Amino acid sequence: MSIENIMTKKIVTVELDDTLGTVKDIFDNLKFHHLLVVESGKLIGVVSDRDLLKAISPNIGTIAATDRDEATLNKKVYQIMTRKPVTLRPHDPIGDAVDLFNTQRISCVPIVDREFRPVGILTWRDILRAIVRKR
């Protein structure tokens, strides 16, 4: 079975100069844990919800938030993203993804076409769903 059969095809992308406030809004309102960073339509990075939590003040959204805390939302995506992410192609076997998850410190694998445009994303949850469906 190939990755295209189990990958999530609905992806959300952001650009280098988008603010962390924008990223936070996306994570708060959609059920995503990873955003793909693109430039001219090509993948250049990944931002996870954990990257965001590390980069912004924990006081955001509380009564204790100061102007300085709120200013952390003005940081840009390029300041916190993972550059040169590990990727796979849609027709690659699922075993390649399992190997990556077992050998790399990653929580998702962007799936790209030949021009390096993102066409999907794969997480360990997608793999587990496929295993359960197969039973």
* Whether the predicted pLDDT of 134 surpasses 80: no
Q: How far is CA 120 from CA 63, 69, 79, 110, in A?
A: 38, 34, 23, 6
pLDDT at 74: 94
Q: Residue 104, SS3?
A: coil
Domain regions of the chain by residue span: 3-134
* Whether the predicted pLDDT of 94 surpasses 70: yes
pTM above 0.75, yes or no: yes
In this prediction, residues 91-113 reach a mean pLDDT of 95
Burial code (b: 16+ CB inside 10 Å, e: under 16) for 83-109 equals: eebbbbebebebeebeebbeeeebbbb
Task: Name the pLDDT band for 1 (thresholds 50, 70, 90).
Answer: confident
Least confident of 11-15, 37-41, 58-62, 98-102: 58-62
pLDDT at 105: 87
59 near 113, Cβ under 8 Å? no
Distance of CA 21 to the CA centre of its chain: 16
CATH of domain 3-134: 3.10.580.10
Closest to 3 measured CA to CA, from 102, 135, 86, 112: 112
pLDDT at 135: 67
